A and B are shown apart, each in its own frame.
Chain A
Amino acid sequence: MEFNRLSDIVQYCTAEKKDMAQAMLDYEMRNKRLTKEQVYDGLKRVLLVMEDSVEQGLTQMVISPSGMLNNWAKTVFVAKVETLGSSLKKAAARAIAVGEVNACMGKIAAAPTAGSAGIMPAVLVTMMEEHNMPRERILDGLLVSSAVGLIFAKNSSFAGSEAGCMGETGSAAAMGAATIVYLLGGNNDQILEAVGFALKASMGLVCDPVGGLVEEPCTTRNAVGVANAFVSSQLALAGIKSLIPADEVIDATKEVGDLMSPRLKESAQGGLANTKTGREIQKRVFKPTS
């Protein structure tokens, strides 16, 4: 069973009268010769790790070895000033929480990468919290996110060294946006529109981590990625169209990634990594080893 485009998945859904989560369940069961229970057990494990990583970042001491991250998630979570209510603030804090846990060698689920691991947990925990989504339904939301990730991986790339941060937090925001649309009852067309919006907002985003570490600006980009997912899904659910179909937007990310200079793709040679302050931090963190 092979899906190469999001349109393939939509066609399968139409032909089989299934929704996108069921299509991905069929995909995994058939290709990996698993039972439904085995697939859901795997999804439950992923969700548990995601929830734990959010929880840890919001409750434990998290200072990264480089010193660049210092308990930011907690700071944001309890901030008195709220630009748009507590929901957005908390969602952003949850993404940062996972980034901090990751930087401190804690356990995370890379979804799709370690550097973008904060977005999906923040989206899912926020959906449970704000919409009282039952866990079973959240697992189906994870299946929908995997559809987007699968097609993105096949036609573009998750690797920061190939597609920049667009391939990491961009694809994760698209996965999150699709999940939110699905969980709130949107149809397949709307899921695809949300993917289009999220990726267009991330188009050309460079991967320029200071010192090559998955900390700055990765962690705050995860927080913004969550906002991207919620805004993109909001637009799609309202019924506006992305104009460029999601599959073509994914093709465009591939083209843009190829056109981006290697200096801007996970080499720590350009962008923020190459600023005066970025280079000073790098020097401080990586003192000569012997």
Chain B
Amino acid sequence: MSEQPSIFDILGPIMIGPSSSHTAGASRIGYVARQLLHDEPKKAVITLYNSFAKTHKGHGTDKAIIGGILGFGPDDERIRDSHEIARKQGLEWEFKFRGDTVRFHSNAARVKLVGKNGGAVEIVGASLGGGRIKIQEIEGFSVDFNAQAHTLVIIADDVPGSIQHISGAIAEKGVNIANMFVSRSETLANMVIELDQPVDEVTFRKVSSFPWVKFVRSVQPMMQHSSRYEK
């Protein structure tokens, strides 16, 4: 039996309007980018594709994405004033628009963030409707995950045994790996690991400390009912 829908998929999501795809989903893409940056964002360059590019104005897609980058969930009323809040927090941002590109989903956004401590990350996410999203690209690697599980994203030199070392470090603390996706470039490997529980700080540091690991980030799942991520 496949996973059955929750009654709260039907009676929800609770969200800031007007559109579950163009507003709620957009804010989630921004929020995943923030988590992948793992830093306070200082600068954001956002490219909206296709339907996002054409209709963002009427749907508040731009406010929703900036809200997500500031750490607001899709039901956070601060989304409405996200641009003002971002200005006060010293976030600089720029929007670009690409109306018709078949390379990307009809509701897709590229988010490039630079952090106050110098880190940077670039992702592409697509909004699928009903507030659901999938992340399709991280740092140039093709990926495919929905950010509904605890997810670890790792980029490392493609050395023999690397997957074994990483899964070993995760399993050490009894954390269960639900899914693992690997994609490769010439010399690097990208791993997206979905976990049944979050990894603790020690495991996170251990994975980061492998000399061949370039990039480790964790994405927390989006909560049902409420999506106030930050307590």
**Which residues of A are interface residues toward B (Cβ below 8 A)?**
1-2, 24, 27-28, 31-32, 39, 42-43, 45-46, 49, 65-66, 101-115, 117, 120, 142-143, 145-146, 149-150, 153-154, 158-159, 161, 175, 211-215, 268, 285-286, 289-290
Residue of B at shortest CB range from A112? B10
Query: Is B18 an interface residue when CB atoms closer than 8 A count as contact?
Result: yes
Cα–Cα, bound, A290→B96 (Å): 9
The answer, among A28, A107, A175, for a CB contact under 8 Å with B77, is A107
Contact present for A49 and B14 (CB under 8 Å): yes
Cα–Cα, bound, A285→B60 (Å): 13
The answer, among B7, B15, B80, B225, for a CB contact under 8 Å with A108, is B15
Cα–Cα, bound, A110→B226 (Å): 13
Residue of B at shortest CB range from A103? B18
For A113, the chain B residues whose CB sits under 8 A away are 20, 130
Cα–Cα, bound, A106→B80 (Å): 8
Contact present for B11 and A109 (CB under 8 Å): yes
For B20, the chain A residues whose CB sits under 8 A away are 110, 113-114
Query: Is B224 an interface residue when CB atoms closer than 8 A count as contact?
Result: yes
Give min CB distance, A183 to chain B, whole Å. 16
Decide: A153 near B226, CB < 8 A? Known: A113-B20, A214-B18.
no
The answer, among B11, B12, B18, B79, for a CB contact under 8 Å with A213, is B18
**Secondary structure at chain B's binding surface: helix, strand, loop or mixed?**
mixed
Contact present for A142 and B16 (CB under 8 Å): no
The answer, among B8, B15, B131, for a CB contact under 8 Å with A42, is B8
Give min CB distance, B111 to chain A, whole Å. 18
Contact present for B15 and A286 (CB under 8 Å): no
Decide: A114 near B6, CB < 8 A? Known: A159-B129, A289-B57.
no
The answer, among A46, A102, A211, A212, for a CB contact under 8 Å with B12, is A46
The answer, among B6, B58, B77, for a CB contact under 8 Å with A31, is B6
Contact present for B17 and A109 (CB under 8 Å): no
Contact present for B54 and A43 (CB under 8 Å): no
Query: Is B4 an interface residue when CB atoms closer than 8 A count as contact?
Result: yes
Residue of B at shortest CB range from A102? B17
Residue of A at shortest CB range from B75? A107
For A285, the chain B residues whose CB sits under 8 A away are 57-58
The answer, among B7, B57, B131, for a CB contact under 8 Å with A143, is B7
Decide: A65 near B60, CB < 8 A? Known: A110-B12, A114-B15, A290-B97.
yes
Query: Is B59 an interface residue when CB atoms closer than 8 A count as contact?
Result: yes
One digit per residue, 1 when the CB lies within 8 angstroms of any chain A CB and 0 when it does not, for chain B 53-73 equals 011011110010000000000
Residue of A at shortest CB range from B81? A105
Contact present for B10 and A146 (CB under 8 Å): yes
Give min CB distance, A127 to chain B, whole Å. 16
Give min CB distance, B46 to chain A, whole Å. 13
Query: Is B146 an interface residue when CB atoms closer than 8 A count as contact?
Result: no
Contact present for A2 and B13 (CB under 8 Å): no
For B127, the chain A residues whose CB sits under 8 A away are none
User: What are 26 A-B pairs at a CB distance below 8 A?
Assistant: A2-B4, A24-B7, A27-B4, A31-B6, A45-B14, A103-B17, A105-B17, A105-B60, A107-B14, A107-B17, A107-B75, A107-B77, A110-B20, A111-B11, A112-B11, A114-B17, A115-B19, A146-B7, A150-B7, A153-B9, A161-B129, A212-B55, A285-B57, A285-B58, A286-B55, A286-B58
